[in-house]
Amino acid sequence: MVHGHDAYDRPAELVTGDAVVLDLRPAGFATRAVALLIDVLLQGAAIIGTLILVSGVARGVDPAATAAVQLGLTVLIIVGYPTAAETLTRGRSLGKFALGLRVVGTDGSPVRFRQALGRALTGAVEIWVGSGVIALITSLINRDGRRVGDFVAGTLVVSERAARRSPEEIPMPPRLAGWAASAELSGLSAETAAMARQYLLRFEELSEEARYEMGIRIAGLVSGAVSPPPPPDASPPEYLAAVLAERRRREAERLAARSGGAGFPPPPG
């Protein structure tokens, strides 16, 4: 069993595999274009409004100072808005929210601040300076619709509405039930749990190499948020199954407690 950062040191050639296991569907070009258009229109309106406001407030002020303030605010809107939106909402600007899209890492992980910033800085050039031509060409020639900013940041825009939902449950490995009952799971994010779930549900569809590589990778992500570590002889699939089954059991208990034991079905594991 590999824990902590060891899993991150494995070869990262898991883009296609992750997309299959996680059932992440790269967003279509048209959908991405509409989402981008919404964001650009919002940013454009904000820029125009800001320029008008600053011009009105700064009458009689040094024109150079006024121009500097306007430029700074424009850059803040162009770079700051997408960076803040994608970081705070885990990959969803207003345009992406409207179209059911989300930015994720190529390994399926939530987008990080540095990735959102990299996308925004690159977007300032390929979308705003280049009038969208660079982004258009790159997205058209790449099968996953990734623009330059996605390659720089290591991200992918996926369609959440296209993701398939599976009602299948993950059974608890009997020999890990005792360990799981005392494990601390509160640090496990919904995104990481979903990644582990899809890996287990589609385990039989993967090649031996993919099972090993992705099992180590995802178990490493989970072990960074769960304590204590499992028995040393636990395999990645067993470990992940135990974590998910216990997480589901606890969620079912909480739901039952809130509803007064009304018999609602437990949430997916």
Residue with tokens 């997480």: 247
Predicted local distance difference test score (pLDDT) of residue 252 = 85
In three-state secondary structure terms, 1 is: coil
Residue with tokens 């208990």: 253
Q: Using CA atoms, how far apart are residues 176 and 208, in angstroms rounded to an integer?
A: 24
Pairing of strands 101-105, 25-26: unpaired
Q: Using CA atoms, how far apart are residues 36 and 257, in angstroms rounded to an integer?
A: 43
Q: Using CA atoms, how far apart are residues 146 and 155, in angstroms rounded to an integer?
A: 8
For the chain, the helix, strand and coil percentages under 3-state DSSP, each to the nearest 5: 65, 5, 30
What H or E segment, with its residue span, contains residue 103?
Answer: strand 101-105
Q: Which amino acid is at 240?
A: L
Q: What are phi and psi of 103, to 5 degrees?
A: -90, 130
Are the C-beta atoms of residues 112 and 222 closer than 8 Å to each other?
no
Per residue of the chain (269 residues), what is the pLDDT tens digit? Answer: 444 333 333 333 333 333 333 456 788 888 999 999 999 999 999 999 999 998 888 777 788 888 899 999 999 999 999 999 999 998 999 999 999 999 988 867 788 999 999 999 999 999 999 888 998 899 888 888 899 999 999 998 988 765 444 457 889 999 999 999 999 999 998 888 888 988 898 888 788 888 899 999 999 999 999 999 999 999 999 999 999 999 999 988 887 887 664 444 554 45
Q: Which residues pair with 102 in a beta bridge?
A: 158
Predicted local distance difference test score (pLDDT) of residue 45 = 96
Task: Classify residue 41 as exposed, middle or buried by CB count within 10 Å of its CB (0-12, 13-18, 19+).
Answer: exposed
Task: Classify residue 73 as exposed, middle or buried by CB count within 10 Å of its CB (0-12, 13-18, 19+).
Answer: middle
Predicted local distance difference test score (pLDDT) of residue 105 = 86
What H or E segment, with its residue span, contains residue 88?
Answer: helix 81-88
Predicted local distance difference test score (pLDDT) of residue 145 = 86
Predicted local distance difference test score (pLDDT) of residue 113 = 95
Residue with tokens 């700051």: 80
Statement: the pTM of the whole predicted model exceeds 0.75 = no
Residue 87: both structure tokens together: 């970081």
Start-to-end C-alpha separation, the chain: 22
Predicted local distance difference test score (pLDDT) of residue 12 = 31
Task: Classify residue 262 as exposed, middle or buried by CB count within 10 Å of its CB (0-12, 13-18, 19+).
Answer: exposed
Residue 146: both structure tokens together: 């990734």
Predicted local distance difference test score (pLDDT) of residue 23 = 54
Predicted local distance difference test score (pLDDT) of residue 7 = 35
